[in-house]
Amino acid sequence: MNLVDRVVLVTGGARRIGRAIVERLADSGCRVAVHYQTSRDEAQALVEQLRAAGREADALPADLADPAACGGLVEAVLRRFGRLDVLVNNASAFAPMTLEDFSVAVWDRMLRVNATAPCVLAHAARNALRAAGGRIVNLHDAATLRPWPDHVAYMVSKGALDTLTRVLARALAPEVNVVGIAVGVAAWPEHYDESLRERLVARIPLRRAGSPADIAAAVHYVLRDGDYLTGTIIPVDGGRHVV
């Protein structure tokens, strides 16, 4: 896909991996809708930075736990940019929960943000994406292959997203390609201490954590060169999935 002037919506685009995706796609000539929930200042600063570099960008808020707000976000993008070519479902909720601590509230929030929202956004965007011959890129977690028992709800929500990528690939074919990027470690959760980080890196064949830029490069590859990819979930995890 030629990326110049394509309109891209990146959810959770103000910080960390989402921000790297926004910057990479804007550098490639995309017009970018930077979605945020709480990171308004970071989103506005990023938009100013992109505009100063001659790019077109805007920041749009929504709480993706609310399905009505997901539909409203797509409408806002279409009003602001006039079209939508690419939806990047990057925003994610992340919280520990063991079976002992089971909480319906945590379960519902994980499922709503990580599985329901990507599906509602795809539903709301489907006609625009079909008209554009567009793409959806979903950000997965490579750990769903070996799910962590202390993050029950998060793992189930990301497992649902694994299936959603495959379902959407069929539901939106042949006009829209739907591809997943399964992230290993690319931006540490802020509460992970040094010894935990070292233990996790020791299990990665490439012996280093990835970076937001590594994930942004994979998203860029899928969009620019992945015309024959759909329903595929690509691990970008330093080889962790083969250990």
Q: Does 164 bind ligand NAP (CB under 6 A)?
A: no
Confirm or reject binding of residue 12 to ligand NAP (CB under 6 A). Answer: yes
Q: Return the residue of 47, 128, 139, 176 that touches ligand NAP, per CB under 6 A.
A: 139
The region that residue 82 occupies, defined by phi over 0 for left and psi between -120 and 50 for alpha, beta otherwise, is left
236 near 215, Cβ under 8 Å?
A: yes
The tokens describing 197, both together, are 């980080």
The CA distance from 243 to 231, in Å, is 24
User: Does 154 qualify as catalytic in the annotation?
Assistant: yes
As measured in angstroms, the least distance from the Cβ of 9 to ligand NAP is 12
Task: Name the residue with the smallest CB distance to ligand NAP.
Answer: 12
Residues 14-43 that bind ligand NAP (CB under 6 A): 14-18, 36-39
Which residues lie closer than 8 Å to 169 by C-beta, 6 or more apart?
177, 178, 179, 230, 231, 232
CB 156 within 8 A of CB 110: yes
Does 148 sit near ligand NAP (CB under 6 A)? no
| Among positions 22, 34, 59, 65, the unique one binding ligand NAP when judged by CB under 6 A | 65
The amino acid at residue 170 is R
CA torsion 156→144→38→188, rounded to 10°? 140
Q: Is 113 in the site for ligand NAP (CB under 6 A)?
A: yes
Min dist CB 242 to ligand NAP, Å, is 17
Q: Is 113 or 132 the residue whose CB approaches ligand NAP more closely?
A: 113
Q: Per CB under 6 A, does 115 bind ligand NAP? A: no
Q: Give the integer Cα–Cα distance in Å for 78 and 43.
A: 19
The answer for residues whose C-beta is within 8 angstroms of residue 100's C-beta and 6 or more apart is none
Q: Count Cβ atoms within 10 A of the Cβ of residue 41 and give its class: 0-12 exposed, 13-18 middle, 19 or more buried.
A: exposed
Q: Which tokens is 125 given? A: 């965007």
Binding mask 183-222 for ligand NAP (x = CB under 6 A): x-xxx-----------------------------------
Q: Which of 36, 154, 192, 228 is catalytic?
A: 154
Under the rule (CB under 6 A), what is the footprint of ligand NAP? 12, 14-18, 36-39, 63-65, 90-94, 113, 139, 141, 183, 185-187
- Residues marked as catalytic: 154
